[in-house]
Amino acid sequence: MDKKTNFLIFFLLSIIVGVINGFFGGGGGMLCVPILKKFLNLTDKQSHATTVLVMSIICLPTLIIYLFTLKYQFSQLLFVTIGSLIGGFFGAKLMSKISDKTLNLLFVIILFLSGIKMLF
């Protein structure tokens, strides 16, 4: 595949990641990781770390829209935010200590369990 075609496919897939993230309020990262690995040849840890940054940036428009449409549970916002910040800190620290193989295995397990949960 030539460079121009590769970039075009990467760009279109990036748009799909954004649409999915905006539509579901999250989940685009699950697609972003393999896209970054395939099209930018990033390592496993680089793809996960880059995805977190990308998701943070693309969540800003979603955040603004949800804030103005009041489609959230304000009473739970602070509680979930604090827990997520603490969990994100420890998750990032843990990722730097595990192997790429373990990281991929955990990623697949979480995707699989999430899919099963969504079915039932």
Whole-number Å distance between alpha carbons of 32 and 48: 8
Question: Cα(72)–Cα(2) distance, rounded to whole angstroms?
Answer: 44
Contact 21, 29 (CB under 8 A): yes
Q: Which domain holds residue 98?
A: 3-119
Q: How confident is the model at residue 90, as a pLDDT?
A: 92
What confidence score (pLDDT) does residue 35 get?
Answer: 87
Express each pLDDT in 65-99 by its tens digit.
Answer: 878 887 677 778 788 889 989 998 998 899 889 99
Please give the angle made by the CA atoms of 14, 58 and 61, to the nearest 5 degrees. 130
Task: Give the per-residue pLDDT at 25.
Answer: 65
Question: What is the average pLDDT score of the chain?
Answer: 84
pTM of the model: 0.72
pLDDT in tens, 27-43: 778 888 888 888 888 99
Number of domains in the chain: 1
Buried b (16+ CB within 10 A) or exposed e, 63-96: eeeeeeeeeeeeeeeeeeeeeeeeeeeeeeeebe
